[in-house]
A and B are shown apart, each in its own frame.
Chain A
Amino acid sequence: MKLDFQVGTSKKAHKVMGKLAGRTDDDKAPKNEKAPFEKMSDAYLFGLVLGLSKGQKVDSISNRINYANFSSIEGDLDIYSMIKLFGDKDDFTNKDTIKNAIEAYATWGLLHIDENYDYGDDDYRLAEIFTNE
């Protein structure tokens, strides 16, 4: 089942997502070469899976910003199945619950990365995320 709706995240997590993809406050500045992700959508998907794999999501999303149509993030993936398999039962009740779950997992994941894996000097070290968690 393809999920064709707009997803977003909190303003803070959106900024983190940008940092993770090497975006700086100055649009004209070159991308940060140390960034761990090629694109913001890669960071969003990673945050979502991180939240999902840990069973963690934010209770609410403050200052929500629409980010993108989910189909652009999802690509060829079957996120519906992923939510169904790894998420809570309530997550896939209907399209709205799925959308809300995606945003809550992704927001939690992005903020978690920023809080725990920011190495300073615009650098992140993510290797431990795969083993420590």
Chain B
Amino acid sequence: MNIQNLELTNFGSYRGTHKFDFSTSTGRMGYAIFGEIGRGKTTLINSLLWALYGEVETSVELEGRIYTKKRPIIDSAQTQNDFSKKWNLPLLNFAAYEEKDYTMSVSIKFEHKGSTFHLLREAKSRTPRPRKNSDIAVQPHLSIDGRTVSAQLIQPEIEEIIPQKISKFFFVEVDSIKSYSALLFAGESSGGIVEDIEAILGMPALEHSKNDFVWLSEYQQKSIESIQTTDKRNKSILRTLEGIDKRIASIRTDIGLIGKDIDKQTKRIGEIDLELEEHPSAEEQLDRLKRAKENKSRLETTLKDSYVRRRSLISKDAWKILLQPKISHLSSHYSELRKKKELKSKTLTELELSCNHAEIEINKGGAECKVCGNISEGLSKKEREAKADDLITNRQIAVDLKAEIELFGTPEHDLVSLSSFRDSRDSSQIETLEDLVSRTTMDLFDTKEKIKLINVELEKADVLKVRELQAEKIACIELRGSLKDERKAASRAESDAVEERVKTASNLKTDETATPAMTKLTKTKKIADWLTNTFDKTLSTYKKNARISVEKLATEAWLSMTPEPEKYRGVKINERWQTEVLSSNGKSLPIGNPGHRQTLAVCIFDGLRKTSGRKFPTFYDNPGSNISDVVLQKMAKHFWDNTDDQIVMLSHGGGLKKQNTMDLYGNKLAKAWELSYSSENTTTSVKEVIQ
């Protein structure tokens, strides 16, 4: 399949009609689309998928789990401008919706096996103001070489060209790489991945052919047995065979009935999904209500805890914080008083000492002082009288000083007392808690208001119906699971019975004078058995070869993408399609890094894509943010070097830059476009940069 042109109208960020003309006379198969994140590159891929299969899936990783949803065309929340929790945004361009232009379409012209295909898928509103997906009617149109294909045959035609399951391997983009890398490294590969991989390798078709030969062999066997019934020696064996046949028939009837029941449940699940889409707002409101109630409960707990912690802080000695400014002031005051008191006390001591000397001199006319040991000289009477006068004055001064000192009180003790009230804490913790209380109270108020609003919305919505549908869906899924188990058990019983039948039938005796018809039947049966066995062996060999081919191609890709190829021997894939990387000495290496895992998933994609032999353009978008720039560059080179079929590289400001792409791969480019925001708003504007 080679795309000739792609035309989008009001799809995602593309407002109005935009055309990408892929036709070229250069013989080059490379195309590049440049543009920063959010400018519409991935939307372009999505438009192609929507045109082909009528649906676009998107996924998000939440708390380590990958959730996948189909994107609606219209979402009622869009009318309320509530995109806060939405990751599966509607496909219809927002501006178009606001301007009441409810038509959306994607048209692809492509060549496939010498024929020209024109596929158009368009969405139109059934109502003047659509609010939900069911208000939109989607209609595909397909013509092959100008002949219109009837509506029922459009999807089978597309599936013939590129089955939806296989298409994902041609789109190297972060969502599918992420989910595939998770599956490739799961402890036990799920049936899903093996099924997908076998689909890309065309194995279901081979299985189908093998089953035809099994049927042929059984048919021949029955014919042989019908002749053998005439031989009396076989009477008892034939009775046994009859019993086994009845058992097999009964088991097969059961398997058929179980299969029908499984289909019934699958159909009902699909119907419920459609019905649930009719009530998107109720379903979403219930989800929002649940989240809001959880948030309310969390906020209430935070609030309660904050009050408890604040109470504990305030009740326990917080009053000390109040005293601290005064303590600093009082501390200087008492220190000053203590200094003054000490000074006065010193003066008093000196005065008392001098009075003591004077008294000795007056009484003894000069003698050794018993206090200080000084020896005073002898004094005359006149001198002693003068000294006595001074002594009386000094004694009075000392009494006054003592009284003054008394008035100072005990500042030294006060300073000690004061220190017992000192505290280094401040009020910051209380402030923080009260801030938290204020913020939480406001949030709680908002949340309560939100709950009120949601409840008002819910009153309008048919909540009971949604709950009933959800419960029924769960029951259907569970029932389908147990039916599948039942079918497996029945299939095992069928195989056992068939084996028993073959063993029993081998004891049948054939008349020596067998008719030529018998000989012919035996020969035909032998051929059918041989074909069955050959198909079995071929299928097994093909599976093995396909796995080896993917392994070889993935190894080539891995070695061309990794910065240190000498450290690796290659990629190893086991029968369950579990993947590992081998070191140069053949030891299995731990691939714990998400970037490594995503790179390996890209390599497996590459191997599967090439092994499938399908002709379809490869779209190379951002393969994952965990992959380093060096690996991204090498990866891009790997894809550019393999441009036998159309390859569309989506280059952005991250790993793959415009200038770099132009410099390195300009000679491989047939055409390139640059996507940007239009001057008025954030809708996509397209400019062809290489023609």
Contacts and interface: CB of A to CB of B under 8 A. Distances in A.
A86 B319 contact: no
Given A50-B322, A53-B322, A130-B321, A85 B414 contact: yes
Interface stretch (B18-26, B419-427, B508-516): B419-427
B421 A33 contact: no
B420 A86 contact: no
A49 B319 contact: yes
A46 interface: yes
B466 to A, nearest CB: 37
A124 B431 CA distance: 12
A125 interface: yes
Interface residues of B, number: 30
Contacts of A53: 322-323, 325-326
Nearest to A130: B427
A38 B417 contact: no
A78 B326 CA distance: 17
A86 B314 contact: no
B127 to A, nearest CB: 48
Interface string B652-679: 0000000000000000000000000000
Contacts, number: 72
Contacts of A126: 314, 430, 434
A48 B320 CA distance: 11
B421 A85 contact: yes
A86 B323 contact: yes
Nearest to A54: B322
Given A34-B307, A50-B319, A78 B417 contact: yes
B66 interface: no
Contact of B427 (A33, A85, A127): A127
A130 B310 CA distance: 14
A45 B319 contact: yes
Interface string B408-422: 000000100110110
Interface string A104-133: 000000000000000000000111011101
Contact of A37 (B311, B322, B437): B311
Interface string B285-318: 0000000000000000000100110111011001
B421 A82 contact: yes
Nearest to B312: A38
B630 interface: no
A117 B578 CA distance: 67
A34 B321 CA distance: 21
Interface in B500-514: none
B314 A33 contact: no
A49 B322 contact: yes
Nearest to A53: B322
Contact of A33 (B307, B323, B418): B307
B417 A81 contact: yes
Interface string A32-76: 011111110010011011101100000000000000000000000
A95 to B, nearest CB: 19
Given A36-B311, A36-B314, A85-B421, A127 B431 contact: yes
Interface in B320-362: 320-323, 325-326, 330
Dominant secondary structure at the A interface: helix
Given A85-B414, A126-B430, A127-B427, A36 B323 contact: no
Contacts of B322: 46, 49-50, 53, 129-130, 133
Contacts of A130: 318, 321-322, 426-427, 430
A133 B310 CA distance: 20
Given A81-B417, A86-B330, A125-B434, A35 B311 contact: yes
Contacts of B312: 38
A72 to B, nearest CB: 15
B420 A78 contact: yes
B323 A38 contact: no
A81 B426 CA distance: 23
A119 B290 CA distance: 32
Contacts of A48: 319
Contact of B310 (A36, A81, A84): A36
Contacts of B418: 85
Contacts of A85: 330, 414, 417-418, 421
B319 A127 contact: no
A33 B304 contact: yes
Contacts of B438: 125
A121 B437 CA distance: 13
B128 to A, nearest CB: 48
Given A78-B420, A130-B430, A46 B326 contact: no
Contacts of A86: 323, 326, 330
Interface string B487-528: 000000000000000000000000000000000000000000
Interface of B: 304, 307-308, 310-312, 314-315, 318-323, 325-326, 330, 414, 417-418, 420-421, 426-427, 430-431, 433-434, 437-438
Interface of A: 33-39, 42, 45-46, 48-50, 52-53, 78, 81-82, 84-86, 125-127, 129-131, 133
9 contacts: A36-B311, A38-B315, A42-B314, A82-B421, A85-B417, A86-B330, A126-B434, A127-B431, A129-B322
Which 7 interchain pairs have the tightest Cβ spacing? A130-B427, A49-B319, A127-B431, A38-B315, A42-B315, A53-B322, A127-B434
